[in-house]
Structure 1
Amino acid sequence: MSDMWTGEKVRLRGVEPGDWEGFRDLARHTVDVRNSDLVEPPRSDESFRSWTAERAGRPPGGAGFRLVIEALADGAFAGTSTVGETDSRAGRFRTGIAISRDHRRKGFAAEATELLLTYMFAEQRHHKCEVEVYAFNDASLALYQKLGFVEEGRLRQHEFLAGDFHDVVVLGITADEYWAAHPRPSLR
């Protein structure tokens, strides 16, 4: 396809003010939030509206950014993907992903991550992507390993969640490792 932001199942796009309900729904399930972030007190709908509107007004790209994962079949909000902690000198960045409950196990997370990696490696000249995954998050560990990420280390008892300390697994993939399994974008 000629649009590097569109795969067979999903499209990555900028955040729109109307996406607030999708972000709110991602935050509704404690177990889901705990798998990818830290549990916070409940927020009001207005808080989600203003947070989303502020992000929708940000210019694209930059050192860190957030994209919406949209299901191609129906245009639904399927999740979000982020880039952060970029280091242009060393060519590293971190990414993360969250998929809504009704869009899981459909290949959306893998495809969205591949689209993002292709952009960061082919257009932004980054050399390495890193992710941190809670050791109890088997689904995310399996996703990243399937995509070719390699476990680089474990931060022992690094985060406090659900009344106990938990390990964080650090995984990484280099551009060379990624290109060995994925085609480079075409200039035409």
Structure 2
Amino acid sequence: MRDMWTGGKLRLRGVEPEDWEGFRDLAQNTVDVRNTDLVEPPRSDESFRSWTAERAGRPPGGEAFRLVIEGLADRVFAGSVTVAETDSRAGRFRMGIVITRDHRRKGYAAEATELVLTYMFAEQRYNKCEVEVHAFNDASLALYRKLGFVEEGRLRQHEFFAGSHHDVVLLGITAGEYWASHQQPSVR
């Protein structure tokens, strides 16, 4: 078996202190930030350095975590993936992903999502992954639907930015749905 954190195009790895510039660059484009989160006031380089250093110092494991997406071809920061809002009793978790502009439309988001789903379903015994996507984010909606996520609902006028309220689409995929189109890992 290959390393479960490495795909054909990328590897997922822990956050390192020197990743601060990658995280800063992700926060530079207002349109990009709106697609994944809410716009915040500008932060200093020192703020990004300390934020990243704190995350780099966290021990691995736990229920919520953030990983860096690193391209195999160029070995550079290509984005990040976050697992959060885990509920071990119910067996569900939420995840989010952001890809740098230079690495978009190359399959990085799909591959990183599949690596995380395989880990969470096969190693952590979770049964369902949920994602929230702004209704105007057509690229992310298409990605998750292509991966087998099913729309489960819409939170109408749920977020406010850019002068108006926007819907949020809830999508989910169960372990059974995922394994129907993906091979489960082998112990060998």
TM-score (norm 1): 0.99
The aligned amino acid for 1:185 is: P
Match of 2:86 in 1: 86
Q: Tell me the amino acid that sits aligned with residue 156 of structure 1.
A: R
Q: Work out whether 1:118 is the aligned partner of 2:98.
A: no
Aligned match of 2:103? 103
The answer to whether structure 1 residue 173 and structure 2 residue 173 are counterparts is yes
Instruction: Spell out, residue by residue over 1:57-116, the C-alpha distance to the aligned partner (whole angstroms, 9 max, x if none).
Output: 001121100000000001110000000000000000000000000000000000000000
2-structure distance, mates of 1:45, 1:37: 20
The Cα RMSD (Å) is 0.5
Aligned partner of 1:161 in structure 2 is 161
> For residue 68 of structure 1, what is the aligned residue in structure 2?
68
1:14 correspondence with 2:17: no
1:151 corresponds in structure 2 to 151
User: Structure 1 residue runs of 4+, over 4 Å off?
Assistant: none
| Structure-2 separation of matches of 1:102 and 1:6 | 20
Paired residue secondary structure (2:159) = strand
Measured in 2, the distance between the counterparts of 1:101 and 1:2 equals 28
Per the TM alignment, residue 137 of structure 1 is displaced from its structure 2 partner at its CA by 0.4
Q: Distance in 2 between matches of 1:161 and 1:174?
A: 31
Give me the TM-score of the superposition, normalised by structure 2: 0.99
Structure 1 unaligned spans of 5+: none
Alpha-carbon displacement from aligned partner over 1:118-164 (angstroms, at most 9, x marks no partner): 00000000000000000000010001000000000000000001000
Indicate the residue corresponding to 2:133 in structure 1.
133
Structure 2, unpaired ranges of 5+: none
- State the shift of 1:2 in Å: 1.4
